[in-house]
């Protein structure tokens, strides 16, 4: 693949995402473009902090994927994930270019790896390429992963991922994407669905139902239905009490940054 051809996906992604700084709009649009370019089964935005064991996973498409469950699983096994280790524990020697699972571990090594066997494979992930977007501190970073159950990613597809990486890094910074804003364990304890947790986070940031509907590309009525479910699970009847109770239960941080 020539240099010009390799740059085209990056230029297209930059055009598609120009001006998008809202977290959810950026994540969804970037995910759609990555799936189109790399033809994956599912992609996800991931934030990992190894010292605290916290992680956030936002999968796309959402159908059939539980963000809270994925976040818990990655948080528990991130230190054993071959690609997380390759980027965050100093083994990368400063090389932050996109990598496949097959670049850092043989098939036999993967089949002996707990994160691969107990976390990735049960979700249908056999092959994965990761695009690092932020290395915040030792053991802490953000990245996109594109996953497949069938064939591995080709060298040409890795070159495409490399071409769009600078754009994703720049937009990651522009969007001010934080480390996990929702505590995955608390979300699980309260039995919130991924969408209910997402709506709750926006409510905690002060967004109205109409604004949340616009960001999530769903109807205001659907947002209100999710809120009703959140209120029922938190045993309250209005937004203010829901946010206060969510913070008291550890679902939301004490002061959530504005969206």
Question: What rounded mean pLDDT belongs to the chain?
Answer: 79
How confident is residue 254, by pLDDT bands cut at 50, 70 and 90?
low
Question: Which pLDDT band holds residue 69 (cuts at 50, 70, 90)?
Answer: confident
Q: What is the pLDDT of residues 109-165, one digit of tens each?
A: 999 999 999 999 988 899 999 998 877 566 778 899 999 999 999 999 999 999 888
**Topology classification of domain 184-248:** Arc Repressor Mutant, subunit A (1.10.10)
Listed by start position, the domains of the chain span 3-175, 184-248
Q: Which residue has the higher pLDDT, 76 or 8?
A: 76
Stretch 206-225: mean pLDDT, rounded? 78
Alpha carbon distance 91, 85 (integer Å): 7
Q: Is 14 helix (H, G, I), strand (E, B) or coil?
A: helix
Cis peptide bond N-terminal to 61, omega within 30: yes
Decide yes or no: CATH 3.60.70.12 for domain 3-175: no
Mean pLDDT of 22-27: 72
> Tokens 């818990």 identify what position?
72
The Cα 28–Cα 198 span in angstroms is: 13
Q: pLDDT category, 179, cuts 50, 70, 90?
A: very low
Instruction: Give the model confidence (pLDDT) of 72-116 as tens digits.
Output: 888 889 889 999 878 876 555 567 889 999 999 999 999 999 999
Longest CA–CA separation in the chain, Å? 59
**Over the range 57-90, which residues count as b (16 or more CB within 10 Å of their CB) and which as e?**
bbbbebeebbbbbbbbbbbbbbbebbbbbbbbee
Q: Stretch 162-185: mean pLDDT, rounded?
A: 69
Question: How much is the pLDDT for 233?
Answer: 92
pLDDT of residue 138: 65
pLDDT at 155: 95
């Amino acid at each position: 693949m020539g240099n010009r051809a390799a740059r085209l996906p990056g230029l297209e992604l930059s055009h598609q995402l120009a001006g998008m700084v809202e977290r959810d709009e950026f994540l969804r649009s970037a995910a759609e473009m990555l799936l189109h370019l790399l033809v994956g089964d599912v992609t996800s935005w991931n934030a990992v902090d190894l010292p605290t064991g916290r992680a956030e996973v936002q999968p796309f498409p959402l159908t059939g994927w539980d963000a809270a469950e994925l976040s818990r699983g990655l948080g528990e096994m991130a230190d054993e994930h071959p690609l997380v280790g390759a980027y965050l524990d100093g083994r990368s020697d400063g090389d932050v270019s996109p990598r496949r699972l097959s670049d850092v571990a043989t098939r036999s090594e993967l089949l002996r790896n707990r994160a691969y066997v107990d976390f990735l494979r049960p979700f249908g992930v056999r092959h994965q390429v990761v695009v690092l977007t932020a290395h915040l501190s030792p053991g802490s970073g953000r990245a996109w992963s594109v996953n497949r159950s069938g064939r591995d990613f080709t060298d040409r597809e890795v070159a495409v991922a490399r071409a769009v990486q600078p754009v994703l890094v720049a937009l990651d910074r522009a969007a001010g994407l934080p480390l996990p804003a929702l505590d995955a364990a608390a979300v699980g304890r309260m039995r919130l669905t991924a969408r209910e947790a997402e709506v709750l986070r926006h409510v905690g940031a002060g967004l109205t139902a109409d604004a949340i509907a616009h960001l999530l590309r769903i109807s205001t009525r659907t947002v209100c239905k999710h809120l009703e479910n959140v209120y029922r699970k938190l045993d309250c009847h209005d937004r203010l009490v829901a946010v206060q109770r969510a913070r008291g239960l550890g679902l939301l941080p004490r002061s959530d940054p504005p969206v």
